[in-house]
Structure 1
């Protein structure tokens, strides 16, 4: 049985510095897909110099995990727990904000490949209430550490950013049932994946069109499906490979209250998050780390 489309939409511009960004989630139709409550697409861009050097500046989070997936570029991370790392094209920065942290990320061109292009995604993953009170945690995952496999009939490949797929498992912790896959489908090929009952799932087409269960969608479209168990078949009728970001998980059943950089379960917890931040309880970033 094929899953049906619930809706499709495109994002709204939310540029930062030299980066062109489309906010895909939340949108006018939904605030979440499984535990995922936020998605920004930093669209592919060639920069006129060897440096893009764009970031959000130091800012706090509580109650979520942030995940930056870098298709092209170099992402530099600092946080107030003392973590520092750079990941390069194909890599992932994952940070559990837990009970409060300050971080700063800068997306630049890739100093290893010398490419002048950037392309990335940032997700926020809502934590269950019990995990919102935990200490922060952090992982920097390089491209060669991301589980991946070739699709049947040499149709392309799948990377497991979060969750499991067949015998593959991401190193990123799961606090609820969740998955995030990057699928690349070769020209003229197709791929089918089965989704279980009640699982929330959405697909995003970052750069090119694709056919999802017989319907052609455009580059930049976010497509959410129903919650009935079934299959999604991806088809590529283009003369070149196309990419699909597929993500979702079990429904988040606790209350969701989001304000600014905080996602909690009540208005009082949001107030606590701001109070603790202004009281200095999230610590400070040492920007000398990594710059010796």
Structure 2
């Protein structure tokens, strides 16, 4: 283990635990943003938890729910309900706008909403690509069950199976459930890797990794459990060059993120069909 990153609490309409970017580590492979959303409940007849339309450039968002559901809408005209176990991949490229709202049945039933949202920074060669949207239902995501370990291979290849999710650079993203007194040593040459502990007692090379912490791994990392755990293994090939972040924008230059902010303020993005509410560019100190 090379770094241990604690969560920071953020309020985006509901509470999230933010791991990346952090002051000590901006990204792991292409992962430049990691949020653990919830668990949370929302009152019927309200809009609590809804995220109004907002823009992105230079990244791909990946939404993966443990429970509940969300409704995705974007400026391409995509409308998609996201259910637990599915992968929702939205590639922003040169610019996209989307909203994320709670379905009425989730509010009415007072269902728990919980999941992981990440951003993948795009390689510089394709950061200005046309935006796109892809959704992969839960039954399209391959799973593997071993005696002391079960895995869902969300992105990439592992345990002899390959995810259908296509990304702009080599990426690994695996939902792992480990049994009691289990050891697992990841083997992904030339990739930067980290684990996020969603729950359970975990050590890396005999050093404890508390729940809700992100541990950046070295190439000889051995992950061990005492009484079982659920972890997310994430990473991929390192990206070339620097990345700059301004609000929801990621790019290889400061000029690009600043220009995106001005473009949003001046109404230069295509908006989500049928929506009128939008989030203004925050005042940056």
TM-score band by shorter chain is: 0.7 to 0.9
Are the equivalent residues in 2 in contact too, given 1:74–1:109 (CA < 8 A)? no
1:265 aligns to 2:252 (yes or no) = yes
Alpha-carbon distance in 1 for matches of 2:105, 2:203:
32
Residue number in structure 2 paired with 1:242 = 229
1:14 aligns to 2:1 (yes or no) = no
Residue number in structure 1 paired with 2:138 = 143
Structure 2 SS opposite 1:206: strand
- Cα deviation for residue 259 of structure 1 reads 0.7
Alpha-carbon distance in 2 for matches of 1:9, 1:109:
35
TM-score of the superposition, structure 2-length normalised? 0.87
**Which of 126, 143, 160 is the matching residue for 1:167?**
160
48 and 185 in structure 1: CA distance in 2 versus 1, 3 angstrom threshold: farther
Are the equivalent residues in 2 in contact too, given 1:16–1:55 (CA < 8 A)? no
**Mean Cα displacement is larger for which, 216-225 or 61-70?**
216-225
Residue number in structure 2 paired with 1:62 = 57
46 and 274 in structure 1: CA distance in 2 versus 1, 3 angstrom threshold: closer
Structure 1 SS opposite 2:258: helix
Residue number in structure 2 paired with 1:203 = 195
Residue number in structure 2 paired with 1:254 = 241
Alpha-carbon distance in 1 for matches of 2:157, 2:45:
37
123 and 110 in structure 1: CA distance in 2 versus 1, 3 angstrom threshold: farther
- Cα deviation for residue 51 of structure 1 reads 8.3
Residue number in structure 2 paired with 1:222 = 214
Are the equivalent residues in 1 in contact too, given 2:123–2:240 (CA < 8 A)? no
Alpha-carbon distance in 1 for matches of 2:63, 2:119:
9
- Cα deviation for residue 133 of structure 1 reads 1.5
**Which of 70, 88, 92 is the matching residue for 1:93?**
88
Alpha-carbon distance in 1 for matches of 2:72, 2:209:
34
Computed over aligned residues only, the root mean square deviation of the Cα atoms, in angstroms, reads 2.3
- Cα deviation for residue 272 of structure 1 reads 2.7
1:183 aligns to 2:179 (yes or no) = no
108 and 8 in structure 1: CA distance in 2 versus 1, 3 angstrom threshold: farther
Are the equivalent residues in 1 in contact too, given 2:136–2:165 (CA < 8 A)? no
1:36 aligns to 2:36 (yes or no) = no
Are the equivalent residues in 1 in contact too, given 2:16–2:37 (CA < 8 A)? yes
Residue number in structure 2 paired with 1:121 = 116
Unmatched runs of 5 consecutive residues or more in structure 1: none
Unmatched runs of 5 consecutive residues or more in structure 2: 276-285
- Cα deviation for residue 97 of structure 1 reads 0.4
- Cα deviation for residue 257 of structure 1 reads 1.4
- Cα deviation for residue 215 of structure 1 reads 2.3
**Aligned residue pairs: how many?**
273
**Which of 54, 60, 71 is the matching residue for 2:66?**
71
Structure 2 SS opposite 1:237: strand
